[in-house]
Amino acid sequence: MARKFFGTDGIRGRTNAGVITAAVAMKVGQAAGHHFLRGDHRHRVVIGKDTRLSGYMMESALVAGFTSVGMDVIMTGPLPTPAIALLTREMRADLGVMISASHNPFEDNGIKLFGPDGFKLSDADELAIEALLEAEPVLAEAELIGRARRIEDARGRYIHAVKQSVASDLRFDGLKVVVDCAHGAAYQVAPSAIWELGAEVVTIGVAPNGTNINRDVGSTSLAALQARVVEEGADIGIALDGDADRLIVVDEKGQAVDGDQLMAVIALRMREKDALRGGGVVATVMSNLGLERFLEGKGLTLERTQVGDRHVLERMRAGGFNVGGEQSGHMILLDYATTGDGTVAALRVLASLVRSGKRASELLHQFEPVPQLLKNVRYSGGKPLDDARVKAVIADANGELTGKGRLVIRPSGTEPLIRVMAEGDDAAQVERVVDAICDAVREAA
């Protein structure tokens, strides 16, 4: 069945256009609520959101949908995506909903769904909900309509939970940390958790107004954090995205540290404690070849998946891994969370910094990345990757890079773009290969 609503990470789009409208949100509440009405207990859904202006509209519409089919609703207000996954499980809810478009600008919004175990829904569940969205809703009898309430202690519950990822005898005293919350969902909880563990905290991106989420701050816009870390003489900078499931770090010199380096740091520390499972790390095809070589040199493996933290998580669960993530900053640490959690990952990085006694610039740059180049080619229609000339150029490129690097070419899942990525030991060769493929795609398109 073709998907009309769900993409690679829930339902996402521009607000009041396409699938992100109040009308569709209400239908999602009705369809997902009906799908998870299982058993004869009183059913419950937890709904959280980030700080987008449209969150009010989407929340109200979802509440109407869920209550109309007989499901009780618990609203948390602004909280990170991983907090909703946690509370869904801890509060014995049948379903969790996060209203967020992650790192996208405020004009976009989205709906992420979690099952009662706190994990994102399976393909089967999403397809079942898709089918219900096209059907007439099955409404509850008048006396069985659900109730809605807002809980006030959700932030405290989450802060307490994430602090459990750090040993009880460890304190962050003496660390000066700049925390950038992207004016997003973690603007209260992330600085509080780090401060409660003893660090001196300087904050940016903690004044959401509904329209400034991710604007010139956060994990996809590091300039403000880099400047502030250097200005403050801080030990480290922490950058989250709008829903706080991503983490990018800045060292004391203002240099960015991506998800590949963070996975290396966390995995090695866990192996030292004999806590690393699966014999390595799970990442996507976009992770740098330098990470793969580094892990191999340490006797560990790097298993690659398609792009998307959902695919990483599926492989982790199937293979018994407990560390995985993406170069873009999704960090999945299954010992502590059921989905990517930027705050948990930040606490693990800070703990490693304290334990090692090293500067961030010493500890966090574990390997030298090989030259990597990614370019996007926009096209108006057709399937340019099926063109014979494009195939020939790709084959030549693969031949050039054999034994020296990698080539990853994929259509975007959300835009009419072909993404061309190559990496290898020779930067000039990498650039030449990428440009040749991009030129061939443009001609074919």
Domain range for residue 59? 11-152
Tell me, yes or no, whether 179 and 125 share the same domain: no
State the Cα–Cα distance between residues 326 and 284, nearest whole angstrom: 6
Predicted pLDDT of residue 2:
59
**pLDDT per residue as tens digits for the range 6-24:** 887 899 999 999 999 999 9
**Is pLDDT above 70 for 1?**
no
Asked if residue 146 is part of any domain, the answer here is: yes
Please give the Cα distance from 171 to 187 (Å, whole number): 22
Domain shared by 246 and 184, yes or no: yes
Number of domains in the chain: 3
Residue 358: pLDDT above 80? yes
The dihedrals phi and psi of 211, each to the nearest 5 degrees, come to -125, 5
Q: In whole angstroms, what separates CA 54 from the centre of its chain?
A: 20
Same domain, 213 and 112: no
Which pLDDT does position 414 carry in this prediction?
Answer: 62
pLDDT of residue 98: 98
Active-site residues, by number, are: 102
Tokens representing residue 254 in the block = 């203002």
pLDDT of residue 8: 76
79 and 40 inside one domain: yes
Please tell me whether residues 408 and 330 are part of one structural domain: no
CB 331 within 8 A of CB 263: yes
pLDDT tens for each residue of 208-252: 999 999 999 999 999 999 999 999 999 999 999 999 999 999 999
Look at residue 24 and tell me if it is in a domain: yes
Q: In the chain, what percentage of residues exceed pLDDT 90?
A: 90
Same domain, 304 and 228: yes
Of the chain, the end-to-end C-alpha distance in Å amounts to 28
**Strands 176-180, 236-240: pairing kind:** parallel
CATH number of domain containing 389:
3.30.310.50
What CATH number is attached to the domain comprising 213?
3.40.120.10
Residue 5 lies in a domain: no
Helix axis angle, 22-35 to 123-133, nearest 10°? 120
Same domain, 50 and 115: yes
Provide mean pLDDT across the span 192-208: 98
Here the tokens at position 333 are: 């640490």
pLDDT of 377-420, one tens digit each? 998 878 899 999 999 999 999 999 988 899 999 887 667 889 99
**Shared-domain flag, residues 430 and 334:** no
The residue whose two tokens read 């996007």 is 376
Q: In this structure, is residue 301 part of a structural domain?
A: yes
Instruction: Specify whether 98 is located in the same domain as 241.
Output: no
Residues 114, 184: one domain? no
In a domain, 4, yes or no: no
Residue 413 has what pLDDT?
Answer: 66
Closest to 58 (Cα-Cα) out of 93, 16, 30, 18:
16
Tens digit of each residue's pLDDT (9 = 90 or more) over 309-348: 889 999 999 999 999 999 999 999 999 999 999 999 999 9
What's the pLDDT score for residue 403? 86
157-193 pLDDT per residue, tens? 999 999 999 999 999 999 999 999 999 999 999 999 9
Torsion angles phi and psi, residue 405, rounded to 5: 180, -160
3-state SS track over 239-302: EECCCCCEEEEEECCCCEECHHHHHHHHHHHHHHCCCCCCCEEEEECCCCHHHHHHHHHCCCEE
Distance CA 432, CA 89 (A): 50
Supply 420's token pair.
């061309």
- 72: in domain: yes
Question: How far is Cα 302 from Cα 296, in angstroms, rounded to an integer?
Answer: 8
Q: Are residues 258 and 394 in the same domain?
A: no
